[in-house]
Amino acid sequence: MQKLKLLPAAALALTLAACDMAPKYVRPALPVPEASPQGAAYAAREGQAIIPADTAWRDFFVDPRLVRVIETALGNNRDLRVALANVEQARARYRVQRADIFPTAAVSGSATYQDSPLAQQGGASGRTDTYAASVGVSAWEIDLFGRVRNLTKAAQEQYFASVENRNAAQTALIAEVANAWLAMAADQERLKIARDLEKAFGQTLDLTRARFAKGVASELEVRQAQTSYDQARSDIATATTLVAQDQNALNLLAGTALPVEDLPAAMPDGDVTLTNLPADLPSTALLRRPDIMAAEHQLLAANADIGAARAAFFPKISLTAAFGTMSLGLSNLFRSGSDYWSVAPAASLPIFDFGRNQGNLRYARASYDAMVATYEKSVQTGFREVADALARRGTMTAQLEAQTSLRDSARVGYRLSEARFRAGVDAFLTTLDSQRTLYNAEQTLLSTRLTRAVNMIELYRAMGGGLQ
């Protein structure tokens, strides 16, 4: 009996000391340059820069309305809930697989009633009642070659990957919500510009009609003024539609109807985010991005699958054991001397499997190669996203300054041409051209401001921010 009690402990010690058939994991070399690109598009950044991965998104976004919208989305977005449910599924699968490492103990009881005619012919009673109760394990695999442990390792890495995928979904959601909020702000501003221009074009149209009635202006000038006025009216209708669609998109991302006070009425005059982001980034910093971390966990899972496939070539040893009591009468079931035990080790070794194990091993190795390529592609994609965002940021200041100067000049030019037209110095075509130039300059400047704000968000996300 004492030997029986030592069996589970000995088997567990053997399992823990078993060999591991999985290849030693070595992280692939990063298939990108060590530092960010350099050149005319990548302007140097002066001053102390924040570390995006260490900067909480609540600190990065400085507009309180936008912060409230993001908080609402993180609590209600359905895609994020799906990602969280996927994490729970992966965790449950890992727990199920991990349970195979340990023996499953079960309590059982049985009763057998037998009446034998042979015993009755000998003069004895033919009735035999047998009762038994036992506790034991059934077909527990002693994992000498690491098959079960590698399957458990693979399930654990899949769970870790699901956690990182959920984190990646959060960073993407934060960026998407912020971009949608800014898009609505820009469309609100675009609507305001269209309304201002409609008013200006309307005044010009009225003046031209009055001059036409006096015989000073031609019908062509009236039609040209009408064309500009109608274009502004059409732009108002388009911008009104865009604002409504932007609000619908924000409500979908937020998972609920957002209050009006959290929605933008125009493009903010100041920055909605911090702007002191770094001008370069070592490639090793990309390893903190959740999508790249998820890809590496998938790679580790594939590496463990190779170990499980290799272990299938070796003997599979299992143990069935029981300890209990047995008697011919229920009243004697737990009396002294009724103890019994049984141990049934078993081993099986594949000899002819017609290439099944070899095929599984080749599949595992091919899956690992695919995961290596996926991991390297994730690193390359992350590097390109950071480089693109840095290139956009490097030229953004000069472009914004140029567009602002262009808009200011167009505004002054329009005022001068309108005054000269009213005084009868210039032809109407000059005023019409200056109106259109101002309109286009206002729209282009607005698009540039939106691009700059979106670029800050994209750079923050690409550098691994948005998890805290």
Q: Does residue 319 fall inside a structural domain?
A: no
Higher pLDDT, 317 or 293: 293
Model confidence pLDDT, tens digit, residues 441-466: 999 999 999 999 999 999 999 888 88
pLDDT at 275 over 60: yes
In this structure, of 102-111, 170-179, 225-234, 390-399, the range with the lowest mean pLDDT score is 102-111
Q: Does residue 419 fall inside a structural domain?
A: yes
- Whole-number percent of the chain with pLDDT over 90: 37
The answer to whether the beta carbons of residues 422 and 207 sit under 8 Å apart is yes
- Tell me which residue of 442, 439, 420 sits closest to 430, measured CA to CA: 420
Ranges 218-227, 353-362, 377-386, 387-396, most confident: 377-386
Q: How confident is the model at residue 47 (pLDDT cuts 50, 70, 90)?
A: low
Mean pLDDT (whole number) for 415-438 = 80
Q: Does residue 2 fall inside a structural domain?
A: no
Q: Does residue 92 fall inside a structural domain?
A: yes
- When divided into structural domains, the chain yields a total of 1
Q: Does residue 257 fall inside a structural domain?
A: yes
Model confidence pLDDT, tens digit, residues 131-167: 777 787 777 778 788 888 988 999 999 999 999 999 9
Q: Does residue 177 fall inside a structural domain?
A: yes
Q: How confident is the model at residue 319 (pLDDT cuts 50, 70, 90)?
A: confident
Question: What pLDDT does residue 7 have?
Answer: 47
pLDDT at 42 over 90: no
Tokens representing 349 are 């070794």
* Residue numbers of the domain that contains 215: 28-101+144-314+355-462
Q: Does residue 381 fall inside a structural domain?
A: yes
Q: Does residue 294 fall inside a structural domain?
A: yes
CATH for 281: 1.20.1600.10
- Residue 297 CB neighbour total at 10 angstroms: 22
Please tell me the pTM assigned to this model. Answer: 0.84
